[in-house]
């Protein structure tokens, strides 16, 4: 008899993300159009595309914040957004999602407590992520007194504090200086070496060369999925920006 839900062994072997025939419509606007994608555990995946490509909509569906119009999305073999997976997912939105009237440390500890962390473990994790984002000396600074780039760092640290198995990061390196941006990427790969998965959107196409694979989205449609080197070889280009433009220009008129 078929099981009504995945067993423990199925969940253990399942990919981090699985999307099948996913579409999302907002009235007459199609944000996602029949997207199918599988992301194995232990990968850094870059979602690339211009504003309006569907990147943020896809992330919101994976979080269970937006219902799809068609298709399905699962996280660790469970429907996206169910309580059983929420505690395993860290999310950094594109817009600032921390409390500006709290200190850096208070924000991080608040998000940690929301995930059930407390006591010595919370203090240890708070110190670890503060060091990562280089805000240890500003831990008692009220967020409204920080620059825009520093506020982004607080948001990133808040997404990391619960030590999630899956990180969904919407433009995590916007406003971050190049040196720290490089350190973030090094950390992303350190995470995947322990079996965790990182999915991020970025407007900096060349930094996406550091991803294991990238997904090019355009007008809600997946143009290509693969390692950056594979996509550049396939399109006969030397950088990802030219690769993207080549794929957009080669699409039949009207989509498809």
Residue 198 falls inside a structural domain: yes
Cα separation, 14 vs 255, in Å, equals 32
pLDDT of residue 202: 87
* pTM for the whole structure: 0.89
Q: Are residues 158 and 126 in the same domain?
A: yes
**Residue spans of the chain under pLDDT 50:** 1-4
Q: What is the CATH number of the domain that holds 72?
A: 3.40.50.300
Same domain for 60 and 104: no
Same domain, 46 and 114: no
Q: Are residues 141 and 231 in the same domain?
A: no
Closest alpha carbon to 184 in 167, 194, 59: 167
3-class secondary structure, 211: coil
Q: Is the backbone of residue 201 left (phi > 0), alpha (psi -120 to 50) or beta?
A: beta
Rounded CA-CA distance 203/157 in Å is 21
- Specify the number of domains making up the chain: 2
Contacts of 23 (CB under 8 A, 6+ apart): 30, 32, 33, 34, 35, 68, 69, 70, 71, 220
Name residues whose C-beta falls within 8 Å of residue 84's C-beta, 6 or more positions apart in sequence. 78
* Residue at 141 is within a domain: yes
Say if 8 falls within a structural domain. no
* Domain of residue 32, residue span: 27-88+168-177+190-251
Cα distances from 167 to residues 40, 95, 219, in angstroms, run 13, 16, 24
Are 196 and 81 contained in the same domain? Answer: yes
Residue 60 in domain: yes
Predicted confidence at residue 5, as pLDDT, reads 54
């Amino acid at each position: 008899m078929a099981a009504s839900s995945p067993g423990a062994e199925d969940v253990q072997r399942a990919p981090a993300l699985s999307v099948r025939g996913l579409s999302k419509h907002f009235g007459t606007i199609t944000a996602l159009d029949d997207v199918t994608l599988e992301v194995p555990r232990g990968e850094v995946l870059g979602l690339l595309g211009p504003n309006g490509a569907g990147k943020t909509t896809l992330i919101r569906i994976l979080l269970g914040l937006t219902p799809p119009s068609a298709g399905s999305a699962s996280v660790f073999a469970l429907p996206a957004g169910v309580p059983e997976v929420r505690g395993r997912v860290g999310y950094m939105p594109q817009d600032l999602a921390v409390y500006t009237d709290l200190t850096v440390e208070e924000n991080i500890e608040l998000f940690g407590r929301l995930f059930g962390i407390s006591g010595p473990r919370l203090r240890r994790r708070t110190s670890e992520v503060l060091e990562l984002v280089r805000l240890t000396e500003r831990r008692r600074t009220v967020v409204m007194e920080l620059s825009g780039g520093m506020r982004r760092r607080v948001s990133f640290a808040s997404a990391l504090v619960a030590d999630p198995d899956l990180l969904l990061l919407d433009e995590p390196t916007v406003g971050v200086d190049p040196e720290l941006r490089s350190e973030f990427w090094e950390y992303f790969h350190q995470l995947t070496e322990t079996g965790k998965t990182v999915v991020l959107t970025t407007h900096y196409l060349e930094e996406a060369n550091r991803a294991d694979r990238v997904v090019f989205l355009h007008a809600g449609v997946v143009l290509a999925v693969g390692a950056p080197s594979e996509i550049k070889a396939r399109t006969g280009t030397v950088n990802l920006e030219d690769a993207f433009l080549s794929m957009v220009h080669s699409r039949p008129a009207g989509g498809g």
